[in-house]
Amino acid sequence: MNIHPTAIVSPDARIAEDVEIGPGAIISGDVEIGRGCTIQARAVIEDGTKIGSGNLIGYGAIVGGAPQDYAHHPEIKSGVVIGDNNRIREYVTIHRGTKEGTVTRIGNGCFLMVGCHLAHNVEVGDSVVIVNNVLLAGYVQVGDGVTLGGGSVFHQFMRIGKKAMVSGGASFNKDIPPYTMAKLYNLLSGLNVVGLRRGGFSAETRAELQRAFHLIFQGTKPIREALAIARTQSWGPEATEIFDFVASSKRGCCTTRRAHQQATQVEID
């Protein structure tokens, strides 16, 4: 174990033998850090945090800080759980769960870039890329393989489906369906075609996803009617995932500019 002499490490912490802890880092309370991790200078890891193997915690990052929630009290025991092989860069902040026994969770193989923030009870899947200065409010769910562009912001309790891609500087308070591209404010621009191709999805699957996207988001039927039509047809698992995601949305889903224009026209008429 390579711990810099200026680091402060709690005697209650459980740290693997090959972990490196840099100058001025603080490991506070009941913390678990797995093999092959690097904790860089001035990083802070708070009580109740569990970190798997092969992770990088960058300079000045704070993991496990108290949630920014009026309902949270200091005596509540909650935490942060981080999987394996994640890169968490400089000044990232990850807050612990806000209710007793709850956690903020990050999967495996994720890349969290400089200055992004994960609020309490956020759930991040595997192989997620979160670019600089992204802000995720409480209880946001991020599916596997998602990419969130720099400076984008997300309202509490919303969901971002698998393999979705979000442009930089965008903002959302509605769910983003799987395999789609989202931009501006609650707008979809189409499928994440490049991500699907890079992810090894076949041409047949991509074509079926295009048909599913057109049926739900670009057709003339309201979404509820379009979902009913979809249920009468045979679809593969990826298209079915989109239909199930949209049907289960509590906040409503982002949609296309055409749908926004139609809704605006109805209001004007």
Using 50, 70 and 90 to split pLDDT, how confident is the model at 101?
very high
**Best CA proximity match to 89, nearest among 38, 139, 50:** 38
Please name every residue paired with 191 in a beta bridge, in sequence order, or none if there are none. 180
Domain ranges for the chain: 2-157, 197-268
Report if pTM > 0.75.
yes
pLDDT for 263: 45
For 197-268, CATH gives 1.20.1180.10
Task: Please state which CATH class domain 2-157 belongs to.
Answer: mainly beta
Mean pLDDT of the 197-212 span: 95
Using 50, 70 and 90 to split pLDDT, how confident is the model at 259?
low
Summary mean pLDDT of the chain: 94
Please say whether the beta carbons of 178 and 161 come within 8 A: yes
Q: Which backbone phi and psi does 12 adopt, to 5 degrees?
A: -85, -10
All residues at 6 or more sequence positions from 105 whose CB lies less than 8 Å from its CB, including other chains: 80, 81, 82, 122, 123, 124
Q: What is the pLDDT of residues 207-235, one digit of tens each?
A: 999 999 999 999 888 899 999 999 999 99
Max CA separation in the chain (angstroms): 71
Q: Is residue 264 within a helix (H) or strand (E), and if so which, with residue range?
A: helix 257-268
